[in-house]
Structure 1
Amino acid sequence: MAKFPLSDLRFYAVDTNVLIHDPNALFKFEEHRVVIPMVVLEELDKLKVGTTALAADARQAVRTLDSLLGAATPAEIMSGVAIIRAGGQALGTISILMPAQQSNLGLQPNSNDNLIINDLLVLKQSTEVADVVLVTKDINMRLKARGAGLSSEDYHNDQLISDMDSLATGYHHVVGSFWEQIEAIEPQRVSGDGYHQMNSATLQAILERKLYVNQFVYDDKEFVCRIYKEVGGLVTIELLNTALLMRQKAWGLAPRDLFQGMAMWLLFDPEIDLVALNGPAGSGKTILALACALEQTMESKDYRRIIATRSTRGLDEEIGFLPGTEAEKMQPWLGAFTDNLEALHAEDFDPGSSADYIGAKVPLQFKSLNFIRGRSFQQAFLIVDEAQNLTPHQIKTIVTRAGEGTKVVCLGNLAQIDTPYLSATSSGLTYMSERFKGFQHGGSISLQGVARSRLAAFAEAHL
């Protein structure tokens, strides 16, 4: 193989799972050289066929590659084609890496991962200065690459936080009295209209952190407020209290703690179009969302229907082998919703009849994520369960389905991620919570505690 010219720029070799995770990843490597191993193209070719979200992401990655390389000659592709950014700027290059003739260098060529690593080791030998870095979401592949003497790293461009301690919870705690601490900085005159305006600097002084709209502040004296808006250095807060939040009812369900009360406040607010609920197993995410959906669909008629979907690896890949219609195929995956429907009516005189009535009267539809792409949902209450298993790109696909008058509620537990290429910091649920932080019509709450049972609470804390 010919020697590459002297350069201090890096070669970034992009693995298939990175292109599936973010089909636009090719534009994220700045001035460096992006290399696509031929094995990656072969894997994309196998994945691109079908109706699954995985196939759609593979097709988009292939189209992006074609848009960058389509007009180039073979010689230009071998040497590197300029990556044209938005606005016409050319920065960095992209090329296809042909398979190297296998030798004793590297790993046994018995898997695609090993073939890619071996090709990159040959590329590394052919360069004089430039470092060769493998970018992959596969932890084991990164370990094998390092063991073989190759630099490797995860894809971090869509990770907005470095650790979970940085994730916004949706609320701030003030020790002692909120008003006493505020008055010590700046005297206040509070009106009786339910809202109060103050200097942003005054509020930030006692919280010692940046504020965002639709976050809550609570103290030890049962005071609660919500950041309503911030304009020109002035912040408007909505005056609430613990008793008010705990008196809320949704389809007969009352919040069990203050954090559930905050979540219900956002779920009931018609001005909030997106709510993200993160919390441990049994913290009440699904039952809260379902109860609020029933209340606003059946009683107040704010929404015409409830749409429930769920991210599950098997569901995302294929549902066609189960018998029946789409709704019938979805039933095994969405047992959490039917279980919570039964729980909401457990105290009825005839719970069985109540469940049958709900099933017949409530416009509750179960949809597969595979068939959400391209649709538009109007006046719907859309609940996305297990959202921690979605990539940022998949989250965008779902949220952009929301039409006029639709509320999207994403539920997830970042401690229970089932996909091998996602972590708590790279999950689509984390990405969405951070991206929508500060959006006037969105909010997120991290629920605490386990309300399911004392056994579940102990297991969550000790197992």
Structure 2
Amino acid sequence: MMEWELKGGEGRKKTFVLDTNVLIHDFNALESFEENHVVLPIRVIEELDSLKSGAGEVPYSARKALRNIGFYAARGDISRGIPLPGGGFLRVEVNEENYFRELKSDNLIISCAMALKEKQVPNVVIVSKDTSVRIKAGAMNVSAQDYKRDKTSLFQKYGSILREEDYNNGIRSVRYQCQGDDINRLWSNDLRCSIRNNRDLNGISPKNVGQVCAMDALTCPEINVVALTGKAGSGKTLLALAAALHQMTKKGGPLYDKVMVARPPVPMNGYDLGFLPGDLLEKIDPWMQPIYDNLEVLYKTPKDMDENRNFGRKEYKSYQYLIDKGFLEIGNLTYIRGRSLPGRYIIIDEAQNLRPLDVKTLVTRLGEGSKIVFTGDLDQIDTPYLDAESNGLAYLIARLINEEDFCYLNLEKSARSNLADRMAVLL
């Protein structure tokens, strides 16, 4: 009999059976279930052990999760149940029964929950980030749910950009959602802020009022964290790069020591960074190509470039001198943990593919005089087990939306060709 079965008043409590992906998503998840009980199938321990080796976010999370489990295991008999801070118990369940034909990890985790139900354990619920696990569990008459701790139901848009006469008529806005074609003033609560719509950053001029507001936020020294969302072609990444590099070349001297740009290397076709040839910069090239494309727009390479400026590379790019001189760093998110980043203008592209834990890691790396910009499209999430409510970008916006030094903008208009804009809607 499990330790918690000896306790009274159990009818109100639930017994959550965790999938491995929950602990990879949040290695502190054990303490997120309040007064309820937590069961870890032995298969979860084995999977964490198989994932713990190497560099990167997944091995790191696996190691941290195992250490957390080990902390509780050292306090008593984890096969009977160890008290959790919220009042529930943690137990590792060794279940050898399999209710499926295939001996797969998902099936063994569901089988563990089914075995608990057969033992009359009340209110058994599987918690998994994997939709297929939740579907299969439901088919086997086992309750299942997503991990809910860091999910947000944020996305209603916050306010509007209004004409001055609308403001004077008593209309107020709180956040950015642009309306109209000839707006040149931004209002925030009762504070009036004038925004210049004739600004030019590295040859890039705003094409709509949303981009005017974005340029203002990206160049405002009082705003330390910026989040830009919008569909493909809305200009998020190009504007962020233009603003960052503009502030590196100001006449009075650069405002930042270096511009750092990174994107999450979401694996394609099963290839991770370690399986690609070359040094680190060459390994991350496939994921950074959209950044290079935007740099090409900002710094067009002359067709008659002299061969002696090739620097030994296959093809010299006009923006390469920024990298060679240390003004621009193309970064790998895997190696940011542990670094302190003072005096940096940091751009994290495709941030919707980050976990909340990843975003927290990035923001807490900021040093004195740094600014960080997150860009992404909440409708284009490629990372398994993340969705529009649980990704790091949505989490960041929900947590910081009322902070003075944070700005969130949703760019609704595409700045690409009419064809690209129309195809984005139709397809």
Tell whether the structures are fold-level matches, with TM greater than 0.5: yes
- 2:219 counterpart (257, 265, 268): 268
Equivalent pairs counted in the alignment come to 410
- What is the CA–CA distance in structure 1 between the aligned matches of 2:2 and 2:16, rounded to whole Å? 18
Report the alpha carbon displacement of residue 297 of structure 1 after superposing the two structures with TM: 1.2
Gaps of 5+ in 2: 306-315
Does 1:108 find its partner at 2:101? yes
Does 1:313 find its partner at 2:266? yes
| 1:222 counterpart residue number | 183
Report the alpha carbon displacement of residue 23 of structure 1 after superposing the two structures with TM: 1.2
| 1:32 counterpart residue number | 36
- What is the CA–CA distance in structure 2 between the aligned matches of 1:457 and 1:416, rounded to whole Å? 16
Q: Secondary structure at the match of 2:221?
A: coil
Q: Secondary structure at the match of 1:313?
A: coil
Report the alpha carbon displacement of residue 170 of structure 1 after superposing the two structures with TM: 5.4
Percent of aligned positions with the same letter in both sequences?
36
- What is the CA–CA distance in structure 2 between the aligned matches of 1:248 and 1:304, rounded to whole Å? 23
- 1:14–1:141: structure 2 CA closer, same or farther, 3 Å change rule? same
Report the alpha carbon displacement of residue 360 of structure 1 after superposing the two structures with TM: 4.2
Task: Tell whether the 8 Å contact from 2:342 to 2:370 is kept in structure 1 after alignment.
Answer: yes
Q: Secondary structure at the match of 2:96?
A: coil
Does 1:98 find its partner at 2:98? no
| 1:410 counterpart residue number | 374
- 1:122 counterpart (115, 135, 139): 115
- What is the CA–CA distance in structure 2 between the aligned matches of 1:280 and 1:430, rounded to whole Å? 15
Task: Tell whether the 8 Å contact from 2:218 to 2:226 is kept in structure 1 after alignment.
Answer: yes
Report the alpha carbon displacement of residue 224 of structure 1 after superposing the two structures with TM: 2.3
Does 1:294 find its partner at 2:294? no
- 1:172 counterpart (142, 160, 163): 160
TM-score normalised by length of structure 2:
0.89
| 2:293 counterpart residue number | 339
- 1:48–1:113: structure 2 CA closer, same or farther, 3 Å change rule? same
- 1:63 counterpart (67, 71, 74): 67
Gaps of 5+ in 1: 85-89, 183-205, 228-234
Task: Tell whether the 8 Å contact from 2:265 to 2:284 is kept in structure 1 after alignment.
Answer: no
- What is the CA–CA distance in structure 2 between the aligned matches of 1:370 and 1:283, rounded to whole Å? 28
- What is the CA–CA distance in structure 1 between the aligned matches of 2:209 and 2:184, rounded to whole Å? 11
Report the alpha carbon displacement of residue 68 of structure 1 after superposing the two structures with TM: 2.4
Task: Tell whether the 8 Å contact from 2:2 to 2:80 is kept in structure 1 after alignment.
Answer: no
Task: Tell whether the 8 Å contact from 1:172 to 1:217 is kept in structure 2 after alignment.
Answer: yes
Letter of the 1:122 partner, please give it. A
- 1:422–1:216: structure 2 CA closer, same or farther, 3 Å change rule? closer
Give the structure with the larger strand fraction.
1
- 1:378 counterpart (309, 324, 342): 342
| 1:462 counterpart residue number | 426
What pairs with 1:9-158 in structure 2 (closer than 5 Å)?
A: 9-72=13-76, 74=77, 77-84=78-85, 90-102=86-98, 106-127=99-120, 130-158=122-150
* Residue deviations 1:301-354 (CA, integer Å, cap 9, x gap): 001111111112229984233333322322222111111111123497868774
Letter of the 1:252 partner, please give it. G
| 1:197 counterpart residue number | none
| 2:311 counterpart residue number | none
- 1:346–1:389: structure 2 CA closer, same or farther, 3 Å change rule? same
Task: Tell whether the 8 Å contact from 2:177 to 2:410 is kept in structure 1 after alignment.
Answer: no
Does 1:160 find its partner at 2:152? yes
Report the alpha carbon displacement of residue 29 of structure 1 after superposing the two structures with TM: 0.9
Q: Secondary structure at the match of 1:451?
A: coil
Letter of the 1:21 partner, please give it. H
The CA RMSD over aligned residues, in Å, is 2.6
- 1:398 counterpart (362, 365, 373): 362
Task: Tell whether the 8 Å contact from 1:52 to 1:318 is kept in structure 2 after alignment.
Answer: no
Letter of the 1:123 partner, please give it. L
- What is the CA–CA distance in structure 2 between the aligned matches of 1:419 and 1:94, rounded to whole Å? 29
What pairs with 1:338-357 in structure 2 (closer than 5 Å)?
A: 338-346=292-300, 354-357=318-321
Q: Secondary structure at the match of 2:27?
A: coil
- 1:114–1:269: structure 2 CA closer, same or farther, 3 Å change rule? same
Q: Secondary structure at the match of 1:239?
A: strand
| 1:240 counterpart residue number | 194
Q: Secondary structure at the match of 1:91?
A: coil
- What is the CA–CA distance in structure 2 between the aligned matches of 1:420 and 1:343, rounded to whole Å? 32
Task: Tell whether the 8 Å contact from 1:174 to 1:220 is kept in structure 2 after alignment.
Answer: no
- What is the CA–CA distance in structure 2 between the aligned matches of 1:240 and 1:219, rounded to whole Å? 16
- What is the CA–CA distance in structure 2 between the aligned matches of 1:125 and 1:50, rounded to whole Å? 39
Letter of the 1:125 partner, please give it. E
